[in-house]
Amino acid sequence: MTFAEAIGTLAGKVRARKAEIATEEATKNALIMPFISSVLGYDVFDPSEVVPEFIADVGVKKGEKIDYAIMKNGEVQILIECKKVGEPLSLQHASQLFRYFAVTSARIAILTNGQVYQIYTDGDAPNRMDEKPFLVFDLLDVDRSLISEVQKLSKESFDLESVISAAEELKYIGLVKRALANEMKEPTDDWIRYFVARVYDGKATQRVVDQFRGLVSKATGQYVADQVNDRLKNALGEGVGRDEIATSRVEVVDVIPRDDVVAPEAPDPEIVTTEEELEGFNIVRAIAVADVAPHRVVYRDSKSYCAVLLDDNNRKPIIRLHLNGKSVKFVTTFEDGNKVGTRHDIETVVDIYQLAEQIRSTVRWYVDSVDNVAAE
């Protein structure tokens, strides 16, 4: 199993068990120990590698414990402080990490609730843990660009110098990305004024800022959509035209018995797949490609809606696009196998990006369901 596959397997476990875990101790046993052993590759039963309930007396704090210390050649390399899954991570609840960081040889500290891992070092001042993590890794929303950085902490690839040297850059890249995400979700006046100053000749009064708020949101959303579509085009092969991407129907070997798949009917000449439906499909596939291969996401059009399916299987609906209405447009999502679906009214197909998490959750649910069946 590759490092990325190990992360994917644990992510499926987090998704399936998260609601059942009620305590910090259960979080450690079910999620964090598997991360240390199955993902990072350390032997949790070998005290020369992993020390649970690690004690290092600090000043007047005698007998205080930290959840795990990962060792190498008798020296502490990584300190791990754990919280219950679902609990927000705050350094106010991890004072031990600060104290232990200063009195041990550790250069890496991890604060985690079993789903989100915040990773710290001492880039701002020697032997003093930074107040902000240089890397934030969420197992249920994996940033694939960070997988190689997490792998540097594994037993097989442990590379402290490389981690430290990349930490400052990763920290500020992460902060900028989160700031951009917040601005796109709820643009501030300063963000809007930045664009107003570049496209509007008049004075940026509050009334003008308010008028541009919707325009800036729509423009940034459309820009992201264009970038994602270009990336999808490249992923599917250079020189493939937009229409070829949108209309390609790749034959796949289904992962469930063939009698569970209903073959599509012969094309109905009255069914016309519109440009808007093709754009909506491309957006959905661009979102889903983070979790499955692009060819597994296909569309099947009908008179009433355009269905986007996983593996061309109508038992695996990802979303239905109802875009042919003259005044009302909406889509239906199918989270966690819900066959009834949830309706979402939209103004333009770009609004589908706001449903990215629901779309990815549905795709992952189908994939995990198949994995669970295969394991049984």
User: What pLDDT digit, counting tens, does each position of 88-132 carry?
Assistant: 888 777 777 887 787 788 889 999 999 999 999 887 787 788 888
Place of tokens 């589908």: 352
Q: What is the largest CA-CA distance in the chain?
A: 81
338 or 92, which is more confident? 92
pLDDT at residue number 256? 38
Cα separation, 135 vs 39, in Å, equals: 17
Q: How confident is the model at residue 36 (pLDDT cuts 50, 70, 90)?
A: very high
The pLDDT assigned to 253 comes to 35
- In the chain, what percentage of residues exceed pLDDT 70? 83
Q: Mean pLDDT highest for which of 40-54, 81-95, 159-173, 231-245?
A: 40-54
On whether the CB atoms of residues 349 and 276 are closer than 8 A, the answer is yes
pLDDT, position 59: 55
Q: pLDDT tens digits for 129-169?
A: 888 888 898 998 887 778 888 898 999 888 788 788 777 77
Residues 6+ apart with CB under 8 A from 119: 108, 109, 110, 133, 134, 135, 136, 137, 150, 153
From 21-25, 248-252, 335-339, the region with the lowest mean pLDDT: 248-252
Q: Does 338 have pLDDT greater than 80?
A: no
Q: Please state, rounded to an integer, the average pLDDT across all residues of the chain.
A: 81
Q: Which CATH class is domain 3-180?
A: alpha beta
List the domain boundaries for the chain: 3-180, 241-375
Characterize the bridge pairing of strands 75-82 and 108-112: parallel
For residue 181, pLDDT over 70 is answered with yes
Separation of alpha carbons 274 and 279, rounded Å = 9
List residues bridging with 306 in a β-sheet: 301, 321
The helix/strand count (H/E) of the chain reads as 11, 11
How confident is residue 254, by pLDDT bands cut at 50, 70 and 90? very low
